[in-house]
Chain A
Amino acid sequence: MHKYILKRILMMIPVLIGVVFIMFFISSLTPGDPAQIILGEGATEAAIAQVREEFGLDDPFLMQFGRYLLGIAQGDFGVSWDTQRPVQEEIFARFPNTMQLAGMGIVLALMLGIPLGILSAVKQYSAWDFGATFIGLIGVSMPNFWLGMLLIMLFTVNLGWLPATGFSEPLMWILPTFAIGTGSASIIMRMTRSSMLECIRQDYIRTARAKGQIERKVIFRHALKNALIPVTTTAGLSFGFLLGGAVLTETIFAIPGLGSFMVQSLQRRDWPTAIGGALLIAISFSIVNLLVDILYAILDPRIRSQYR
C-alpha cells in the first residue's frame, strides 16, 4: 500500500509538468508582446528592451519553460506581469478561500445527495423517488452562476436575509455554498440511488433479511456500506468539478478566491499568475483524487488486496 501511494505521488509529477507545459503553450499563442503587457501602453523602446531582458522573454520557448520549472521546484512561481509581485504570494493568499468554498460545496453535496439517494432507492418508484429524481434533474441542469444570481435575487434583493457579496463572515458563506454545491448534490444523489439499488438486490441483503435483521440495519449496515464505495469516486470527481465551478461562483459573489483572481489575471493577460493558479488547482485536484483512491482501498478490501 505504501509503495502504491509513493508510486502515485511520483506519477503526479509528469502530469503536473505537462499541465505547466500546456499552459505555457497556450500562453505563447497570445498575440502581442508580453513586454508591452507588462509595461502597458506608451512604453518606450528602451524600456521594452530592458523588460524583455529582465524577464528573459527573448529566450527560446523551451528555455523559458525550463527556467519556470526550475523555479517551481524551488517554490518560486515567478513574478506577476500585472502587479510585479511574486505570484506565489498572490495565489496562496487567495487559495484558502477557494478550497473552503469547494470544501463546503462538497460537504453540502454529500449531506443532501446521500440521504436523498438512499430514500429514493429504498422507496423506489414512489412519490419520494420521483420527486427526488426530478429535483436532481433540475439541480444538474442549472448553471451554477445562474443559480447564484437567482439566490441573490431571492435572498438579498427580495427578502433581504443574506448578504450577496464577500466571504469574511459565516453568513456570507451560505449562498455561494448552495450555488456551487447543488449540481454536485444532484450527481451524488443519482449515483447513490443507482448504487444502492444495485446493492439492495444482492443475495447477502436477502440473507440479512432472512436472518431477521431489522430493516434499518439491513439498509445502513449491509447495503449502504457497499453502496457508498462508488459514491466516493463520484465525490472526488465532483471536487474537481467544484474547483472549476468556483471560478464562476467566486465571480458572482465577489469572493476574493483563486478562481476569480485567475479570471482577472487572464483578462489582463497576466500569464505567470494564471499558470501558477492553474498549477495549484491541478495539484489540489490530483491530491484529492489520490486521497479518494486511498479511501477506496480502505473501504474495499478487495481493492486493497490488489495494491499489495
Chain B
Amino acid sequence: MENAVEVKKAKKKRSQFFEIWRRFKKNPLAMVGLFIIIGILILAGLADFISPAEGMIPGYNLQKWGTDYVRQFPSGEHIMGTDHLGRDVFARIAHGARISLLVGFIAISIGLVVGIPLGALAGFYGGVTDNIIMRFIDIMLAVPNILMAIAISAALGGGLNNVMIAVGIGVIPIYARTVRAQVLAIKGQEFIEAARASGASDFRIVMRHILPNCMSPVIVEASMGMAGAILAAAGLSFIGLGLQPPVPEWGAMLAEGRTFMLAGYWHLTVFPGMMIALIIFALNMMGDGLRDALDPKLRSGGFSKKRFKRMQLARAASNNSGEGRK
C-alpha cells in the first residue's frame, strides 16, 4: 500500500520534470544555450589535458623554441595563438573556464543564500520588517552593481574568494526582490490559510508551502544572474581589482591583451572576450528558455519552430480575410 503511494509520487515528480524538459527543448535558442554551457563545462573539465604546461608556464615555449614563440597568431598548432609569454591562449582559456564557472556559481549561491531569506522575511511579515529590509535593498540598488563590487574588492583585496564575495553581495537585491514579490502573491492564497488553520508554524509555512512555490522565477533569475556575475567578475579583473595575472581569468587575459591591441595582436583580445560573450549569451538564452518552460503563462515571446509556423498560418489567414486593411 505504502509502496503504491511512493511509486505514484515518484511518477508525479518525474512527469513534472519531463513536462518542463519537454517545453524547454522545444525552444531552439535555449537548447543552443544549453549546448554552449555543456561545451564550456567539458572544456573546463578537460583543461588539464589541453597542453597544460604550454598554457600555464610562462616562458615554457621560449626555452624550447626560442623567442619566435611569443605572440604567434593562430595556427594549426596553436588554434588561438600564443601570448606575450609564449603561452598557448586556448589552454589558458580552458583553465579560465573553470574560474569563470566557479566564480559565477559561488557568487550566485551567496546571492541566493542571503537574498532568499531576506525576501521571504520581508514578504511574509510585511510592516516594519518589510520596510527595513526593502530600504536596505533600495540603498544597495542606488549604487550600480559593478561599482559596489569594485569598492568591496578594493577594500578586501583581489583574489578568488574576495571576487566571489564582492560579486555575490552585489546580486543579493535581485533575489530578495524576486522572492518578496512571489511571497506577497502567494501568502494570501487559500492553501496558506489552510496550513495555518491546521496549526503549522510560520517557519513551516514559509519553508514547506511558500518557498517551493516561488522557485520558478528564482531559478530563471539565477541563470541570468550568473551571466551578470561572470561579467562583473571579468570586469573586476579587467581593471586590475579582481584576479591578477598570471591567473588565466578571461577578464585578466583581456587586460593583458589590451597592451598589445594597438600593435595589431588581435587574437589576445578577441578570444577571451568571445568566451565571456559566449557564456553570457548561453546563460541568458537558458534563462529565457527556463522561464517559458517553468511557467508557460510568462511566455517571453521567444522563437519556437512550431509557434513560428502557427503564427505564419495565422498571419496568412488574417491577411486573406482582412484585405484592404492596409
Contact = CB atoms under 8 A, between A and B. Distances in A.
B242 to A, nearest CB: 12
B284 interface: yes
A143 interface: yes
Contacts of A307: none
A162 interface: no
B238 A248 contact: yes
B255 to A, nearest CB: 9
A244 B273 contact: no
B150 interface: yes
A254 B136 CA distance: 34
A98 B152 CA distance: 22
A281 B285 contact: no
A244 B147 contact: yes
A153 B315 contact: no
B146 A245 contact: yes
Contacts of A241: 144
Interface in A258-281: 262-263, 266-267, 269, 274, 278, 281
A137 B227 CA distance: 13
Which of A30, A149, A245 has the largest number of chain B CB atoms within 10 A? A149
Nearest to B258: A149
A124 B284 contact: no
Contacts of B231: 143
Nearest to B136: A18
Interface string A141-169: 11101100110110011000000100000
Contacts of B278: 141
A30 B326 CA distance: 66
Contacts of B311: 124-125
Contacts of A30: 154-155
Interface stretch (A19-27, A38-46, A50-58, A227-235): A19-27
A44 to B, nearest CB: 26
A133 B303 contact: yes
Contacts of A31: 157
B269 A266 contact: no
Interface in B121-172: 135-136, 138-140, 142-147, 150-152, 154-157
A14 B297 CA distance: 38
A282 B146 contact: no
A19 B139 contact: yes
B277 A244 contact: no
A65 interface: no
A19 B143 contact: yes
B261 A149 contact: yes
Given A30-B155, A248-B235, A274-B154, A141 B139 contact: no
B207 to A, nearest CB: 30
Contacts of B150: 247, 262-263, 266
B239 interface: yes
A68 interface: no
Given A29-B156, A281-B147, A150 B239 contact: no
Nearest to A123: B315
Given A197-B301, A248-B238, A281-B144, A269 B276 contact: no
A262 B150 CA distance: 9
Contacts of A252: 258
B312 interface: yes
Given A209-B325, A215-B325, A18 B264 contact: no
Interface string B94-115: 0000000000000000000000
A125 B309 CA distance: 9
A47 interface: no
A243 interface: yes
Interface in A151-189: 152-153, 156-157, 164
Contact of B139 (A15, A27, A142): A15
Contact of B142 (A140, A193, A263, A286): A286
B254 A149 contact: yes
B235 A145 contact: yes
Contact of B151 (A23, A140, A142): A23
Contact of B277 (A18, A142, A263): A142
Contacts of B116: none
Nearest to B283: A141
B143 A282 contact: yes
A18 B135 contact: yes
Contacts of A226: none
B153 to A, nearest CB: 9
B65 interface: no
Given A125-B308, A146-B277, A248-B235, A157 B262 contact: yes
A103 interface: no
29 contacts: A18-B136, A19-B139, A22-B140, A23-B151, A26-B152, A30-B155, A125-B308, A125-B312, A130-B303, A133-B303, A137-B281, A140-B281, A145-B235, A146-B254, A149-B254, A149-B258, A194-B300, A194-B301, A240-B144, A245-B146, A247-B147, A247-B239, A248-B146, A248-B235, A248-B239, A251-B239, A252-B258, A266-B154, A282-B142
Interface of A: 14-16, 18-19, 21-23, 26-27, 29-31, 124-125, 130, 133, 137-138, 140-143, 145-146, 149-150, 152-153, 156-157, 164, 193-194, 197, 209, 215, 240-241, 243-245, 247-248, 251-252, 262-263, 266-267, 269, 274, 278, 281-282, 285-286
- 5 smallest CB-CB distances across A and B, nearest first, come from A244-B144, A146-B273, A18-B139, A141-B281, A266-B154
